[in-house]
Amino acid sequence: MSGPPEPGAPDHAGPFGPGRPTLTLGLLNFARSAPPGGWSPLVEQARIADRAGIDRVVVVDHVVMGEHPEHYDGGRFPTGPDGPWLEPLTVLAVLAGVTSRVRLSTGIVIAALRTPAVLAKTAATLDVLSGGRLDLGVGIGWQREEYEACGLAFSERGDLLDETLAVCRLLWRPGPATYRSHRLAFEATWCEPKPVRPGGVPIWVSGRLNRRTLARITRFGDGWIPWGEYVADVARGAALVRDALRAAGRDPARFQVRGQLPVVGDDDGVDLAATMAPVPALIEAGVTDFNLGWRMPDPTEAALGTLTGIVEAFRSTVGDGRSTVGDGRSTVGDGRSTVGDAAGPDPADG
């Protein structure tokens, strides 16, 4: 590459500042078969999350599906090859129009399947139109068929992702950009508008913490989305990430780490005390963002009440490091919740 030095990740505190734990909710932009009533419940769920005080909603990505979803190594895959998957950035654009404060995130998008300049433009446009609310969670994916359908070499997926992120960071900087590699070259090129934040759209890197993923995190990342064995052992992963950031001259206190927060339910609703019990230890381990393991039932006022109660319990817990929600029983909503992994299948595999 020639031209100005390659941009690294900006060292910043993120949209919420250091020390402010956040609560994330995954929304299902996929299904086993086309929903008979259409996808309007997805839009209503985003509205409810926005009203309830959720900090971030997340959707996931598959461009195409091959005929062997059983090759997925993140557990049981939720659809067959013919299950519909809505394109995540398009979904977030729709959700931006019906919400006002919640952040909008991919968790993840298989970034290398988009040409770098087009992804930079799309992300910047969405960020500007949403008032600076976009977070770009990225990973390399696990499915060879997706790369083949896009005319890309699956064996080069790591290099392709790194180049995509480098070009996005470069095009998000002020002024014209120049870039050269054996795959791509352009000179004195503008990509406008720029994202709202001077450093560009926050990038969350997903993957197992091998050498390549740690290098990608320190080079481009504002946050890390654990994958594989690190989902259950986020403390070990967060320590590795902190060490890598320090070695790269970056401040770990200005970096975000996602952890899982399963919802504990009972016959009467959501057990708030039991749900919030792991939070202080996870914060101590380095988790800054909590992925809520709750599937919203029908998007009704009852669902809004239940989710608002969870958000209030979380705010109380992170405010003084312990739960202060009484006996832990939810007194809002009708308790019709589904407990599980709210982010859905993350197709990242670093």
Question: How many whole angstroms separate alpha carbon 149 and alpha carbon 348?
Answer: 18
Residues 313-340: tens digit of each pLDDT: 999 999 943 333 333 333 333 433 333 3
Question: How many whole angstroms separate alpha carbon 270 and alpha carbon 63?
Answer: 35
Question: How many whole angstroms separate alpha carbon 4 and alpha carbon 175?
Answer: 11
Using the predicted structure, report yes or no on whether residue 24 has a pLDDT greater than 50. yes
What is the DSSP secondary-structure string of 238-270? HHHHHHHHHHTT--GGG-EEEEEEEPPEETTEE
Q: Which tokens is 30 given?
A: 């996929």
Mean pLDDT taken over the chain: 89
Cα 302–chain centre separation? 26
Question: How many whole angstroms separate alpha carbon 329 and alpha carbon 274?
Answer: 9
Question: Is 327 contained in some domain?
Answer: no
Residues 277-297: tens digit of each pLDDT: 999 999 999 999 999 999 998
Cα 151–chain centre separation? 26
Total domain count, the chain:
1
Using the predicted structure, report yes or no on whether residue 20 has a pLDDT greater than 90. no
Question: Is 197 contained in some domain?
Answer: yes
Q: Which tokens is 24 given?
A: 């994330």
Residue 185: predicted pLDDT: 98
Question: How many whole angstroms separate alpha carbon 319 and alpha carbon 315?
Answer: 6
Residue 15: predicted pLDDT: 52
Question: Is 131 contained in some domain?
Answer: yes
Find where tokens 């259950």 sit: 232
Helix (H), strand (E) at residue 178: strand 177-180
What is residue 233's three-state secondary structure? coil
CA quadruple 41, 146, 118, 6: dihedral sign: positive
Question: Is 339 contained in some domain?
Answer: no
Find where tokens 């990740």 sit: 9
The least confident of 109-113, 132-136, 210-214, 331-335 is: 331-335
What is the DSSP secondary-structure string of 31-51? -SS--TT-SHHHHHHHHHHHH
Question: Is 186 contained in some domain?
Answer: yes
Residues 301-316: tens digit of each pLDDT: 999 999 999 999 999 9
Question: Is 137 contained in some domain?
Answer: yes
Residue 19: predicted pLDDT: 61
The C-alpha R_g of the chain, in whole angstroms, comes to 20
The CATH number of residue 151's host domain is 3.20.20.30
Residue 73: predicted pLDDT: 86
Question: Is 260 contained in some domain?
Answer: no
Question: Is 278 contained in some domain?
Answer: no
Indicate the angle between helix axes 88-98 and 40-52, nearest 10 degrees.
60
Could you tell me the CA-to-CA distances from 170 to 89, 109, 133, 240 in Å, in that order? 20, 19, 20, 27
Candidates 53, 126, 45; CA nearest to 93 is 126
Q: Which residues make beta-bridge pairs with 120?
A: none
Please tell me which residue, 233 or 341, carries the higher pLDDT value.
233
Q: What domain range includes position 106?
A: 22-254
Question: How many whole angstroms separate alpha carbon 339 and alpha carbon 336?
Answer: 10
User: Within 10 Å of residue 327's Cβ, how many Cβ atoms?
Assistant: 8
Residues 36-94: tens digit of each pLDDT: 999 999 999 999 999 999 999 999 999 999 999 988 988 889 999 999 999 999 999 99
